[in-house]
Amino acid sequence: MARWVRLAIILVLAAQHPALAQSSTGGFVGVVVDIMTGEPVAGALVSLIARPAGVPPPPRSAQTNTEGLFVFVGVPEGRWRVQVQKSGFFVVGANGQAPEVEIRAASVVEGVIQVDRGGAIAGRMVDAKGSPVSEVFVTAVPRIPSGDRAAGPLPSTGNAQTNDLGEFRLSGLPPGEYYLVGRPRPLPTATGAVAIPVVVVQSYYPGVADQAQAAPLVVTRGVTTSAPDWRMLAIIRPSRAGDAVAASPQRAPAPQRATGPRRRVSGVVLDPDGRLAPGARVELVPVDRQTVPGAPLVTTARPDGTFLIGNVPAGTYLVDAMLASRLEASRVHRVVVENADVTGLTIAIVR
Amino acid sequence: MVRLLALVLILPLAGCLERHVRRDASTAATQTSSSARVTGRVLDAGTGEPIAGVRASLASAARVSLPRLLPEIQTDADGVFTFGDLPPGSWRVHVQKRGYYYGTAGQPPVIEVVEGAATTVTILLERGGAVTGRVLDSRGLPVGDLWVTALQPVQRPDGTIMSMERATERTNDLGEFRLAGLPPGDYYVVARLRVPPFTETPLPSKTMFVETYYPGAAGITAASPVVVTLGATTQSIDFQMRSAAAYHVLGVAVDARGRPAAGARILLSHGRAGTITTIFDGTAEANGTFRIVNVPEGTYRVQADVLVVTRSGTGSSTSAWFHGAPVEIFVQGGDVTGVRVTAGQP
């Protein structure tokens, strides 16, 4: 099944176009076509994005005209990633990876980019009281089949922000299974000496902090899958005395002693620009009487920006993160470890 | 030692300010910190409930200094935000939340921050009305990725009417839009092609979608107003995007002595004051020529501006735009060539 996965992007090295040729730059011309109807797609935004290696040139964009055509001239030599943005469509490519194009000096590459109508997920985000939650960033993360881990993590597809009614719609999703992740804006609620520790908890559909407990949604071509009443776990809570973090759906009323079982604390670190911050130093400092006083538990965020601190006794901790290269740190977060692992923490480093 | 610690000043405004910014006399007598702080509380004017996740920032309200913005923060579950370690002075409190507007006060309040004091401000936001609808093409298919804007006609002191942009959203893959947080009143809804910044020169198209006002008008004068009431949604504002044949405009920009104005900024625009839309913003070639593609039929102004940067001996530099006289052109039934514009003269 799924024939649409087959052919991706046809890139043919064309004859030289002297008019477009320059010393160290080349050109890229092509057409964006709807694979099902064969019709050109007008108004698609085609972008050339440099690969991470080397000094990244700024991305360049062109919009297709009514015949679906686009043209880039004076593009620096090298391999570029091709991204196509058009509401309701996705690029037919291998494994959800963006196609690439090799630009050579004094020549023009011609390409046919095939796009297909994807499926959509529409829903509404509410808080514990059932009131709509607006301005939450929603992303669909493809579910990786367990036997296919070697392929590496698939990029998250599509993102949207909830509107004033808490509604969102993600379209142009390749058919498959997805987890929905909602991330509140990682902003502090106070500055300066009065800064209040905050914990930002991301929420997976239908309202859990852990991806393992999340319900995947099936997306079919041309169909809108409904995700009603998605419960946002916590927006940003000031952690005042005695205030626990709702990071686990089944937490015990009383914290356990340090002699009890050990848990894991995990999440992601974001830099001041909101990007994942690999290499950031994450520190877990025990602060309450239930916890045996001792050295802080320290780890370094992994290359994907996530972190995990294992072997954590139950108790209350302050969590903070710091960038290795710079003197920038996050606000201090407060987290309560009880009878379950604490997952989905988002620690934002601020300037 | 009793000091006047909380002083909330409001900009001179018409309307019932009392309702929208309360003066809270709560002071922090026990506060020992020498730096000032501002604690704000944001409430829904209709329900009195706190609003969580409201973005808040402070900008210096002093007339002499440049606006100084502090990092943005947001309200917690109790609708509260706090700026600590604040330099004393006048600060304008900007708050923003989808679906809300400032109410009849209309603008952000200004507060006076005194050294060593804690100032409290309560800001009431009104839940505005909304407009929803769909944009289709001539075949009845949805048009995604358009910018849809709600324009509110506002009378200026000199009696003329100008259109204020109150909300802009993108149409989704079904052509749907929702414009929220609108103060009650009459609006014009307009859909335009999205022109992303920093794009390559587009290839010519035979036809183009052109600016379309609900229910399908070419201009605001022929458009139908959409009535928005407080907290309600005006639905089914559906309309069809207009298309027009698109042509090229070719010409040359010259200086006062008729020499090519290489690198001059070329602007092609249409509309009248208040609703001017720039169709093209580009640069003249080394020989002064310019080529603008995808210009739909209509009347336009072409203008060539020159930027002059002056460096002083101390290394600082100032820049100024010199605007050229606009030339009116009429595009109908074919390409327009030989347009000659005189660039701005330094």
Band of pLDDT at residue A9, cut at 50, 70 and 90: very low
Closest Cα of chain A to B6: distance in Å? 18
Say if residue A17's pLDDT is above 80: no
Most B-contacting residue of A20, A32, A71, A87 (CB-CB within 10 A), to test interface: A87
Residues A81-97, mean pLDDT to the nearest whole number: 81
pLDDT at A242 over 80: no
- Best mutation site among B32, B47, B93, B98 for testing chain A: the one with the most A CBs within 10 Å? B98
Sequence letter at residue B82: T
Chain A residues near residue B130 by CB distance under 8 angstroms: 164
What ipTM, to 2 d.p.? Answer: 0.77
Euclidean distance between CA atoms B90 and B113, whole angstroms: 6
Give the number of other CB atoms < 10 A from CB of residue A14: 14
Higher pLDDT, A49 or A115: A115
Q: Are B282 and B291 in contact (CB under 8 A)?
A: no
Domain identity same for B192 and B302: no
- Residue with the bigger pLDDT between A61 and A220: it is A220
Residues B159 and B48 grouped into a single domain = no
Range of the domain at B304: 247-342
| Same domain membership, residue B264 and residue B228 | no
In this prediction, residue A199 carries a pLDDT of: 56
Choose the closest CB to B75 out of A67, A72, A189.
Answer: A189
Label residue B140 left, alpha or beta by phi (over 0 means left) and psi (-120 to 50 means alpha): left
Range from A219-228, A329-338, B224-233 carrying the lowest mean pLDDT = A329-338
Percent of chain A with pLDDT over 90: 24
Q: How many other CB atoms are found less than 10 A from the CB of residue A17? A: 15
Q: How far apart are CA A175 and CA A220, in angstroms?
A: 5
* CATH number assigned to the domain comprising residue B157: 2.60.40.1120
Interchain proximity A62–B199, CB inside 8 Å:
yes
Q: Which residue from B85, B198, B206 is facing A61, i.e. has the nearest CB?
A: B198
- pLDDT tier at B340, thresholds 50, 70, 90: very high
Average pLDDT over residues B44-65: 83
Q: Which residue has the higher pLDDT, B11 or B73?
A: B73
pLDDT at B8 over 50: no
**How many pairs of residues across A and B have Cβ atoms under 8 Å apart?**
143
Q: What is the mean pLDDT of chain B?
A: 82
B20: confidence class by pLDDT, cuts 50, 70, 90? very low
Q: CA angle, A76 as apex, A71 and A80 as ends, to 5°?
A: 75
Least Cα distance to B271 among B215, B220, B325, B327 occurs for: B220
pLDDT at A294 over 50: no
Are B63 and B169 within one domain?
no
Assign A2 a pLDDT band (cuts: 50, 70, 90).
very low
Q: Kindly list the residues from chain A whose CB atom is less than 8 angstroms away from the CB atom of residue B131.
A: none
Q: What is the pLDDT of residue B281?
A: 84
Residue A253 pLDDT grade (very low, low, confident, very high; cuts 50, 70, 90): very low
Cα A267–A307–A304 angle (5° rounding)?
95
How does pLDDT run across B132-184, given as a tens digit for each residue? Answer: 999 999 999 999 999 999 999 988 888 877 888 899 999 999 999 999 999 99
Q: What is the pLDDT of residue A234?
A: 58
Q: What is the pLDDT of residues A118-136, one digit of tens each?
A: 999 999 999 888 889 999 9
Q: What is the pLDDT of residue B95?
A: 93
Neighbouring-strand partners of residue A95: none
CA A255 to CA A300: how far, in whole Å? 27
The total domain count for chain B is 3
Query: Quick one: B26 and B63 in the same domain?
Result: yes
Out of A7-11, A256-260, B269-273, B306-310, least confident range: A7-11
Which pLDDT band, with edges at 50, 70 and 90, does B64 fall under? low
**Encoded amino acid at A160, one letter:** A
pTM above 0.90, yes or no: no
Residue B191 banded pLDDT, cuts 50, 70, 90: very high
pLDDT at A302: 85
pLDDT digits (tens, 9 = 90+) for B70-82: 678 889 888 889 8
Buried-exposed string B127-136: b where 16+ CB fall within 10 A, e elsewhere: bbbbbbbbbe
Residues of chain B above pLDDT 70, percent: 84
For the cut 90, the answer to whether the pLDDT of residue B129 exceeds it is yes
B330 and B216 inside one domain: no
pLDDT higher than 70, residue A8 = no
| Whether residue B16 is found in the same domain as residue B117 | yes
Tell me which of A287-291, B251-255, B302-306 is least confident. A287-291
Enumerate the residues of chain A whose CB falls inside 8 A of the CB of residue B205.
42, 65-67
Dihedral (C-alpha) A123, A124, A127, A128: value to the nearest 10 degrees? -60
- Are residues B84 and B25 both part of a single domain? yes
Taking an 8 Å cut-off on Cβ atoms, the answer to whether B82 and A191 are in contact is yes
Reported as a single tens digit per residue, the pLDDT across A257-285 is 345 678 888 888 888 777 778 888 887 87
Statement: residue B42 has pLDDT above 90? yes
Flag if A192 and B37 touch (Cβ within 8 Å).
yes
| Predicted local distance difference test score (pLDDT) of residue B54 | 94
pLDDT score, position A131: 87
Q: Which of A167, A5, A206, A170 is nearest to A94 (CA)?
A: A5
What pLDDT, in 10s, does the model give residues A149-187?
Answer: 444 444 556 678 999 999 999 999 989 999 999 988 777
Same domain, B109 and B47: yes
Question: Could you tell me if B224 and B282 lie in one domain?
Answer: no
Residue B60 CB contacts under 8 Å (≥ 6 apart), including other chains: B66, B67, B68, B89, B90, B91, B92
Q: Which of B87, B104, B126 is the last residue of a domain?
A: B126
Model confidence over A303-350: pLDDT tens digits?
Answer: 888 888 888 877 777 777 877 655 566 666 777 787 788 877 888 877
* Pair (B121, B133) in one structural domain: no
The stretch A188-203 carries a mean pLDDT of: 67
Distance from CA of B307 to the nearest CA of A (A): 24
pLDDT of residue A158: 66
pLDDT confidence of residue A198: 53
A4-13, A196-205, A242-251: range with lowest mean pLDDT: A4-13
Taking the C-alpha atoms of residue A347 and residue A338, their distance in angstroms, rounded to an integer, is 20
- Quickly list DSSP for A222-277: T-EEEEEEEEP--SEEE--TTPPP--SSS--SSPPPTTS-EEEEEEEEE-TTSSB-
Our CA-based measurement puts residue B94 at a distance from the nearest CA of chain A, in whole angstroms, of 14
Residue B337, H or E segment: strand B336-342
Q: Does the structure show a pLDDT above 60 at A4?
A: no
Chain B environment of A67 (Cβ under 8 Å): 203, 205
User: Within its chain, how far is the Cα of A56 from the centroid?
Assistant: 21
Place of tokens 């324009």: B151
Contacts of A190 in chain B (CB under 8 A): 73, 81-84
Task: Name the domain boundary from B88, B108, B126.
Answer: B126
Do A58 and B181 make contact, defined as CB atoms within 8 angstroms? Answer: no
- Which residues are within 8 A (CB) of A54 and not within 5 positions of it... i.e. 6 or more apart? none
Q: Please check whether residue A238 is in contact with residue A189, taking contact to mean a CB–CB distance below 8 angstroms.
A: yes
User: Between A210 and A139, whose confidence is greater?
Assistant: A139
Q: Is the pLDDT of residue B293 over 80?
A: yes
- How crowded is residue B222: how many other Cβ atoms within 10 Å of its Cβ? 10
| Boundary-marking domain end, from B86, B103, B126 | B126
Tell whether the model's pLDDT for residue A246 goes beyond 60: no
**Confidence band of B23 (pLDDT split at 50, 70, 90):** very low
- Looking at the fold, whether B190 and B106 belong to one and the same domain comes out as no
Q: What is the pLDDT of residue B270?
A: 85
CB count, 10 Å around CB of A100? 15
